[in-house]
Amino acid sequence: MRATVGVFDSGVGGLSVAEALHRLAPSLEIRYLADTAYFPYGDRTVAEIADRAVLMVGRLIDQGANVVVVACNTATSAALERLREAFPSVPIVGMEPPVKPAVEHSVSRRVLVLATAGTVSGARLARLTETHRGDAEVFTVPMPGLADLVEAGQIEGPRVEGVLHAAMDAPLASGVDQVALGCTHYGFLRPLLRRMLPEQVELVDAAEPVARRALHLIAEAGLVIDAEAAEREVLCYATGDAAAFEAAVERLRAAGAALPPTRVSRPVA
């Protein structure tokens, strides 16, 4: 059976994971579902996010996905266990802030996690931090509005820099040497963050490890990716205005974001 990976997020952020999947396996069939009608998830209740996650994953499976990536830290925190119970025959990969590798690589034993308010307040990040921090100090900083700026195509400029400075300056002054990105939208800020951060501070992003995990599950399940086939576009759907989603993708592309080739199909109600 041919592998088809379904990827979902509240908006464009999960395309950072789709880009990693496409880069690693250009002929892989990828279907991307953006729940733009409910963006941003960070302002929603846990119950509402979990219900949406079940609905979105169900739609991806109905469209032929046989592996699913929840490319959203907030949705993973709210719904991963419920999703695995609801769809036991389909491997589901979640997205978590990369606390463990950040702590493991930290020399100063000080780590900064940037995430949405929903992820910062969720039980999953609290468990991750408690499990992996050891003797390290982990600063978890909510970033209200930052995903909205990325969604609007703002990955450069004084407004975004101001938000990042306000969040990072104090932890960096305390000796943080690892910055973990706890939202897929923030992956598009990597070039800006790299310029803003001191040289000795490492950025840790989970997009590529999650993509590699999905490819491992594809192989484990015996699903086929035809390596000789032509490069595929990522087929995208949005629950909100499809034209607005396509415009958001093009704004990011124009701003220099690393994106896979995409084709936006009819909207999903």
Distance CA 189, CA 192 (A): 5
**In 10 A of CB 166, how many CB atoms?**
11
Alpha-carbon 61 to chain mean position? 19
**In 10 A of CB 181, how many CB atoms?**
26
Known catalytic residue at 72 = yes
3-state secondary structure of 206: coil
Distance CA 104, CA 29 (A): 34
In the beta sheet, which residues pair with residue 202?
178
Known catalytic residue at 183 = yes
Quickly list DSSP for 78-146: HHHHHHHHH-TTS-EE-----HHHHHHH-SSSEEEEEE-HHHHTSHHHHHHHHHH-TT-EEEEEE-TTH
Token pair 């999703």: residue: 83
Query: Per the residue annotation, which of 72, 92, 93, 217 is the catalytic one?
Result: 72
Helix-strand-coil split of the chain, %, nearest 5: 50, 20, 35
Query: Per the residue annotation, which of 183, 207, 211, 242 is the catalytic one?
Result: 183
Q: Which helix (DSSP H) or strand (DSSP E) does residue 59 occupy?
A: helix 46-62
What count of residues does the chain have?
Answer: 269
29 — phi, psi (to 5°)? -80, 120
The catalytic site residues sit at 72, 183
